[in-house]
């Protein structure tokens, strides 16, 4: 046997791992010699018995010294390699998992055993395969260290680093009907750890799966576009302390992960991101999914990022999993960051001091720079397209702008035959790709009508135009003229449109949205209101959050069903119903966007809401002259009309609102087509009678 070369340093990481084969072979020989001298049934000698064996057997003493020399020589070469910055995988495990010397020796022995005969001198000279059970490894390590057998056995307990961090796996040996004692269980190195020792340093897809991503070199701070770049430096300082958890709160796509990545890069670390929304809500499945990722974060020395933290187990009855999640996160000893829209309820349980950072929505200037960065260089834009106008009309996050530009790049492939990307092309793509996450709770409302189609009295149109003036000048009033200091909240633009059905309330909302350059979304109250406690508030929070982030005007149709008067508390149902109304009051006061509510019964609205609504506009039923104008204005010029039409008589006889008049006209036109004729007076008369009857009146 030749002692390991004392020349300084390892030139090849595999050379370091390969020398463990020589050490293991000598250790096995020592175990066999000591076992022969042990009392019957003893697996490991006591210190006194071992001392007597060494004194009585010179060969055993020489073998013991040889192993010590091998280990000392390896340690000296490791120290020299560290000075030369040679990466030794086994030493990386020691550092990143905070392993004791006994742990390192166990991993070195297991790696040699599992690498097979080509690396294992013992296997080359023995017909039997080496048995890597706990008892064997305890005897192997305890005989060569200052640890007792009991102390080595504890290195295989469930809470010890080797087991709790997934470096080794312990399973029952064959031949046991029930769970055997620990010393008889088989031990093997985790496949990922063996692969890492043999050179597979990057995380494999089998570990990351569909729930995680890894960035060896995240985007540098110089490429992250922020209104306040100092935020990256603040996050970097917070990540440098592993007793803290860094919490970045903001809208999806505003650059939360990019900020963490830039801070990680400044610290010389990669970044591993886990999408918590994709993790299962089951203890065994959660363990199977997240434990390998936590191990990988330590293996890489990475900053671990938990993305979409508020979306994990956020449904009714799933919160029971939080204690298990936080128990697993307490095992993380690498820098930890949380990215979410709101602080998750379980954050305080993970045993770290939270450092909170708000990530703001990108300013118009940052958005403009993002558009210029991501627009495909070959995209041919029509001359009338202005990035400044696009930013003014559609507020978007960095991620949303990038996705929209990618879609525009694909559109460019279609338009290269000579066409230009028009403003409408851009708007269509932006609407699609930057769609707000209101889809499940609201639906877009668009109109083909224009202001010339509006037939309303002056007492209605006057406050409508005042509404537009407020929208056009409120930034100057609150900003330049300083009214924001006098009115710290309640600066939003809100209106209540009250009146009978069909009087034009929704139509005016559509025209106002178009005039303001906003997308109008009608809130689906059937999806917002939920019987489970707290779910309605959560849905309303999503509605207002998304409206605040984008150019969205909210329409609460039939608002009296949601903004109803609070009642005297006589049951728990009344208490929680009032909580919903109180939450709405708070959000309405803090929301600085545009909200319009329509109702058929203004008196049903809670008085507190009415006080906070800036514009209250009543839409009366049209009088006879207005009804005549509505009948005349709603008939398309392409429609074929009979010579006997008397619209004045129908307007005088049937007090219908605009919506009912439109329904009656469509009804009459359909019946005329069925008769194969133009729209005759009888068609209009019959349609008006039916529409009036459906309103609950007799003609």
**pLDDT score, position 232:** 95
Predicted local distance difference test score (pLDDT) of residue 500: 87
Residue 261's pLDDT is 97
| Highest mean pLDDT: which range of 6-10, 168-172, 452-456, 677-681 | 677-681
| CA separation for the pair 594, 544 (Å, rounded) | 10
Contact 548, 463 (CB under 8 A): no
114, pLDDT greater than 90: no
- Closest alpha carbon to 555 in 539, 543, 541: 543
Task: Tell me how many helices (H) and strands (E) the chain has.
Answer: 30, 14
471 Cβ contact list (under 8 Å, min separation 6):
493, 516, 594
CA distances from 690 to 661, 684, 696, 697 (A): 11, 10, 10, 10
Helix locations, 84-120, DSSP H:
89-96, 101-115
Percent of the chain with pLDDT over 90: 24
CB atoms within 10 A of CB 152: 23
Distance in angstroms (rounded) separating the CA atoms of residues 168 and 172: 14
DSSP 655: -
Q: Looking at the predicted structure, is the pLDDT value of residue 418 above 60? A: no
Q: Which residue has the higher pLDDT, 177 or 620?
A: 620
Q: Are 528 and 419 in contact (CB under 8 A)?
A: no
Contacts of 667 (CB under 8 A, 6+ apart): 687, 690, 691
Round to whole Å and give the CA distance between 154 and 158.
Answer: 9
41: left (phi over 0), alpha (psi -120 to 50) or beta: left
Most confident of 81-85, 287-291, 486-490: 287-291
Q: Domains in the chain, please, with CATH?
A: 13-197 (no CATH), 205-358 (3.40.50.300), 364-435 (1.10.8.60), 451-618 (3.40.50.300), 624-694 (1.10.8.60)
Residues 6+ apart with CB under 8 A from 532: 316
Instruction: Give the mean pLDDT of the chain.
Output: 81
**pLDDT-derived band of residue 68, with 50, 70 and 90 as boundaries?**
confident
- In eight-state DSSP terms, residue 177 is S
pTM: 0.75
pLDDT value of residue 573: 45
Tokens of 273: 């991101």
CA 72 to chain CA mean position, Å:
49
DSSP assignment letter at 499? -
What residues have CB less than 8 Å from 643, skipping those under 6 apart? none
Of 289 and 482, more confident:
289
- What pLDDT was estimated at residue 297? 96
Say whether 597 sits in a helix, a strand or coil: strand
User: CA-to-CA distance for 642 and 549, rounded, in angstroms?
Assistant: 52
Q: Answer whether 394's CB lies under 8 Å from 430's CB.
A: yes
Q: Poorest-confidence range of 276-290, 306-320, 352-366, 543-557? A: 543-557
pLDDT of 429 > 50? The answer is yes
Band of the pLDDT at 400, cuts 50, 70, 90? Answer: confident
Q: What would the two tokens of residue 122 be?
A: 């013992």
Of the candidates 493, 508, 510, 511, which has an alpha carbon nearest to the alpha carbon of residue 547? 493
C-alpha span between 224 and 218 (Å, rounded): 10
Strands 244-249 and 353-358: parallel
Residue 56, sorted as left (phi over 0), alpha (psi -120 to 50) or beta, turns out to be alpha
Q: Which of 684, 692, 671 is nearest to 645 (CA)?
A: 684
Give the number of C-alpha atoms closer than 13 A to the C-alpha of residue 66, restricted to the C-beta side: 18
Tokens representing 593?
A: 């966007």
Question: How would residue 556 be classed by pLDDT, with cut points 50, 70 and 90?
Answer: confident
User: Lowest-confidence range among 11-15, 120-124, 642-646, 681-685?
Assistant: 120-124
Spell out the residues 6+ positions from residue 358 whose beta carbon is closer than 8 angstroms to its own: 249, 250
CB 196 within 8 A of CB 121: no
**Secondary structure of residue 305 in the 3-state scheme:** strand
Structure tokens at 602: 């203004």
Res 57 pLDDT > 70: yes
Output phi, psi for 428, to 5 deg. -60, -45
What is the structure's pLDDT at 33? Answer: 73
User: What is the structure's pLDDT at 1?
Assistant: 38
- Whether residue 43 is predicted with pLDDT greater than 70 in this model: the reply is no
Q: What is the mean pLDDT of residues 204-211?
A: 93
Q: Which CA distances in Å does 500 have to 164, 497, 618, 657?
A: 67, 10, 9, 8
Mean pLDDT computed over 609-627? 85
* CA distance linking residue 574 with residue 577, whole number of Å: 5
Eight-state DSSP code of residue 430: H
Our measurement of the distance from residue 249's CA atom to the centroid of its chain's CA atoms, rounded to an integer in Å, reads 11
């Amino acid at each position: 046997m030749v002692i390991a070369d004392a020349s300084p340093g390892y030139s090849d990481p595999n050379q370091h791992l390969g020398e463990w084969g020589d050490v293991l072979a000598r250790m096995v020989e020592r175990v066999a010699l000591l076992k022969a001298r042990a009392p019957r049934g003893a697996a490991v000698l006591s210190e006194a018995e071992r001392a007597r064996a060494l004194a009585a057997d010179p060969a055993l003493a020489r073998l013991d010294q040889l192993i010590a020399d091998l280990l000392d020589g390896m340690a000296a070469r490791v120290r020299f390699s560290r000075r030369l910055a040679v990466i030794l995988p086994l030493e990386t495990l020691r550092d990143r998992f905070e392993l004791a010397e006994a742990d390192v020796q166990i991993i070195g022995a297991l790696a040699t055993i599992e690498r097979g005969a080509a690396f294992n001198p013992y296997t080359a000279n023995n017909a039997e395969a080496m048995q890597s059970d706990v008892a064997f490894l305890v005897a192997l390590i305890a005989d060569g260290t200052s640890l007792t057998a009991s102390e080595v056995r504890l290195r295989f307990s469930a809470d010890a680093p080797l087991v709790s961090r997934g470096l080794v796996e312990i399973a029952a040996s064959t031949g046991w009907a029930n769970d055997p004692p620990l010393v008889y269980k088989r031990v093997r190195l985790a496949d990922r750890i063996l692969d890492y020792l043999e050179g597979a340093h990057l995380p494999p897809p089998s570990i990351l799966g569909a729930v995680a991503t890894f960035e060896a070199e995240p985007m540098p701070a110089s490429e992250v576009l922020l209104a306040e770049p100092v935020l990256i430096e603040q996050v970097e300082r917070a990540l440098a302390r592993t007793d803290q958890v860094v919490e970045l709160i903001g809208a999806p796509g505003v650059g939360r992960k990019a900020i963490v990545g830039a801070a990680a890069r400044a610290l010389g670390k990669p970044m591993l991101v886990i999408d918590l929304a994709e993790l299962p809500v089951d203890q065994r499945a959660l363990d199977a999914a997240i434990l390998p990722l936590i191990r990988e974060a330590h293996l890489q020395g990475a900053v671990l990022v938990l993305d979409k933290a508020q979306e994990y187990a956020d449904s009714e009855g799933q919160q029971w999993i939080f204690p298990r999640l936080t128990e697993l996160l307490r095992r993380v000893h690498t820098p930890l960051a949380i990215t979410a829209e709101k602080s998750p309820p379980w954050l305080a349980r993970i045993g770290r001091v939270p450092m909170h950072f708000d990530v703001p929505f990108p300013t118009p200037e940052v958005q403009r720079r993002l558009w210029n960065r991501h627009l495909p260089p070959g995209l041919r834009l029509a001359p009338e397209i202005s990035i400044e106008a696009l930013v003014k009309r559609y507020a978007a996050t960095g991620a949303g702008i990038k996705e929209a530009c990618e879609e525009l790049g694909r559109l460019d492939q279609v338009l290269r035959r000579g066409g230009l990307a028009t403003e409408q092309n851009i708007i269509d793509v932006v609407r699609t790709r930057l769609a707000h996450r209101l889809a499940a709770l609201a639906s877009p409302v668009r109109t083909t009508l224009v202001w010339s189609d509006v037939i309303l009295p002056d007492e209605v149109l006057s406050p409508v135009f005042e509404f537009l003036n407020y929208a056009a000048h409120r930034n100057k009033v609150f900003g330049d003229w300083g009214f924001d200091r006098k009115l710290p909240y309640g600066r939003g633009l809100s209106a209540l449109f009250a009146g009978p059905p069909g009087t034009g309330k929704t139509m005016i909302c559509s025209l106002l949205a178009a005039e303001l350059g906003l997308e109008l979304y009608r809130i689906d109250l059937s999806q917002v209101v939920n019987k489970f406690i707290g779910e309605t508030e959560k849905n309303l929070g999503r509605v207002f959050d998304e409206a605040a982030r984008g150019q969205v005007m909210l329409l609460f149709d039939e608002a009296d069903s949601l903004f109803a008067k609070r009642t005297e508390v006589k049951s728990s149902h009344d208490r929680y119903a009032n909580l919903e109304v109180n939450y709405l009051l708070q959000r309405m006061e803090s929301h600085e966007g545009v909200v319009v509510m329509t109702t058929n019964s203004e008196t049903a609205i809670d008085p507190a809401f009415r006080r906070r609504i800036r514009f209250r506009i009543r839409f009366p039923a049209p009088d006879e002259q207005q009804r005549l104008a509505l009948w005349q204005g709603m008939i398309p010029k392409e429609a074929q009309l009979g010579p006997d039409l008397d619209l004045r008589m129908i307007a005088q006889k049937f007090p219908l609102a605009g919506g009912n008049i439109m329904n009656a006209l469509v009804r009459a036109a359909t019946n005329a087509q069925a008769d194969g004729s133009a729209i005759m007076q009888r068609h209009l008369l019959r349609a008006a009678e039916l529409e009036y009857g459906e309103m609950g009146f007799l003609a």
